[in-house]
Amino acid sequence: MLPTFVDAFVARDDDDDDDDASPSSFVACVVSRRHGDGATLASLLDVARAAAGTGAPLGLPELQARHLASQLALALDALHRVAAIVHGDVKPENALVDRAHRIQLCDFDLATSTSRPAVADAEDDLAEENDEDEYLYAFCGTAEYLAPETIAGAPRSAARDWWALAITMYELVHGKTPFASSRGNDEVTMRRVRTARIDWPDPPGVSDACRGVISAMLRRQPSTSGGGEWDVSARLCGERGLEDLKRASFFRGVDWDRVGLDPPASTKGWVVLPQDG
């Protein structure tokens, strides 16, 4: 089952006689669809942190994180395979969530087609402004979610979105990302993305299955083939995307055909958005 917005793209593609169903019209289609009241996974994490009360980072219950991450994974899979688009800025702020725990990806400002030149006009606009720093920043996305090969200048690929999903999953369960500099310094963050060990809280607070899947998605194996600094294929989801994720024990029990369509079986203990949004 494809997420609704990809359904919309496919329908548009079928209807279109003048072949206007380019990735950019798909993007327009996606961003024009309202979902919920604008709350995102970042809003949900804010609620969780506020509930902790002590300022200590606190994330969502694991089953809630799994439910939300599964839907994000389906959205990424459809985006990559059906639309040939790399989102480029996957993070909690760009995942809309409604009160029924349904997810929709938003913010396609940095999206690029893997079969055509960049679809995001923002890149060209910023380049024209000749503001190199701003251009680079816009091109790169958000430091703490960047894959190491992106920082090293590798061409865009779907692997970048799966890496960002792993960082997002870590944040969903821990309330913070694993490589962020404590002072919010992007350069330090990017160095840590490339070299630092994953900062696991002690005691872990999450299951081995959860930690295992995130670690495997964030594996940084040096390349031996000379085709770049890292061997992305050694990473869970790096080459096979959703196919890999479906086999991970953390996701065992997810009904991939129904997740996001049916209400979750139980939401006991889940963090919820406040009624007034």
Q: Does 99 bind ligand ATP (CB under 6 A)?
A: no
CB neighbour list of residue 88: distance below 8 Å, 6 or more residues apart: 110, 111, 112, 120, 141, 156, 160, 161
Beta carbon nearer to ligand ATP, 35 or 101 = 35
156 binds, among ligand ATP, Mg ion, none (CB under 5 to 8 A by kind): none
- d(Cα 44, Cα 148) in Å, to the nearest integer? 27
Q: Which of 7, 15, 46, 89 is catalytic?
A: 89
Cβ atoms of 217 and 165 closer than 8 Å: yes
113-118 contact pairs (CB < 8 A, 24+): 113/23, 113/84, 113/85, 113/86, 114/80, 114/84, 114/85, 114/86, 114/156, 114/157, 114/158, 115/23, 115/84, 116/22, 116/23
- Measured from the CB atom, the residue of 40 and 113 that comes closer to ligand ATP is 40
Say whether residue 83 binds ligand ATP (CB under 6 A).
no
Closest distance between Mg ion and the C-beta of residue 107, in Å? 4
Shortest CB 56 distance to Mg ion, Å: 26
Nearest-approach distance from CB 87 to Mg ion, in angstroms: 11
d(CA 25, CA 19): 10
User: Binding of Mg ion at residue 104 (CB under 5 A)?
Assistant: no
Stretch that binds Mg ion, among 25-33, 102-110, 173-181, 188-196 (CB under 5 A): 102-110
CB of 216 to ligand ATP, least distance (A): 28
Sign of the CA dihedral running 48, 51, 57, 61: negative
The CB-of-130 to Mg ion minimum distance in angstroms stands at 24
Size of site (CB under 6 A) for ligand ATP: 12
Q: Tokens 């899979």 identify what position?
A: 77
Please say which residue, 91 or 220, places its beta carbon nearer to ligand ATP: 91
Q: Which is nearer to Mg ion, 46 or 93 (CB)?
A: 93
Binding to ligand ATP by residue 64, rule CB under 6 A? no
Residue 109 sits in the site that holds ligand ATP (CB under 6 A): yes
Q: Is 77 a catalytic residue?
A: no
* Residue 13 · residue 21 · CB < 8 Å: yes
Q: What's the CA gap between 235 and 173, in Å, rounded?
A: 21
The helix/strand/coil state of 135 is helix
CB 268, min distance to ligand ATP, A: 27
SS3 content of the chain, % helix, strand, coil (to 5): 45, 5, 50
From 11, 20, 28, 38, residue interacting with ligand ATP (rule: CB under 6 A) = 38
58 is an interface residue for ligand ATP by CB under 6 A: no
DSSP state of 179: S
Which positions are catalytic? 89
Residues that bind Mg ion (CB under 5 A): 93-94, 107
Residues that bind ligand ATP (CB under 6 A): 31, 33-35, 38, 40, 93-94, 96, 106-107, 109
